[in-house]
Amino acid sequence: MYKKSGDGDLSGFSRTQRWLANAGSVVSTFFITPLVFGWSIDFVIDYAEAQYFNGIDWLVTLVWGFILTVTIFFLSRAVLAVLIELSRMLTHKRFF
C-alpha cells in the first residue's frame, strides 16, 4: 500500500556510489579539517572575544571545530557524489 523508503529502492550502483562518497568524505574530512581549523581559529576566537566577552576560548574552539567538521564532511560528500555520478554518466556515454 505504502512505498517503503530507504535503501530498498536503490540500485546496486547507487548504494555503492553512496558508500564511496561517504568513505571519501570521511577521509577528506580527516585531512582537511585540521588545516582549515588551524587557518581560521585565531580569527574566530578574536572575533568572539571582541563581540562577546573574554574567556570564551574553550567554547568557541569546541563549537568551531564541530561546525567545521560537519560542514567539511557534508560538502565533500556532496562533491564526491556529484563527481561519481558525472564519471558514471561520461563512461556510459562513451561506451554505450
Give per-residue pLDDT as tens, 21-66: 999 999 999 999 999 999 999 999 999 999 998 889 999 999 999 9
Q: 96: pLDDT confidence band, cut at 50, 70 and 90?
A: confident
Q: What pLDDT, in 10s, does the model give residues 63-79?
A: 999 999 999 999 999 99
The pTM assigned to this predicted structure is 0.81
Task: Please give the Cα distance from 96 to 84 (Å, whole number).
Answer: 18
Task: Please give the Cα distance from 38 to 61 (Å, whole number).
Answer: 11
Task: Please give the Cα distance from 48 to 55 (Å, whole number).
Answer: 10
Q: 86: pLDDT confidence band, cut at 50, 70 and 90?
A: very high
- Domain spans in the chain, listed from the N-terminal domain onward: 21-95
What is the identity of the amino acid at 4? K
Task: Please give the Cα distance from 75 to 36 (Å, whole number).
Answer: 14
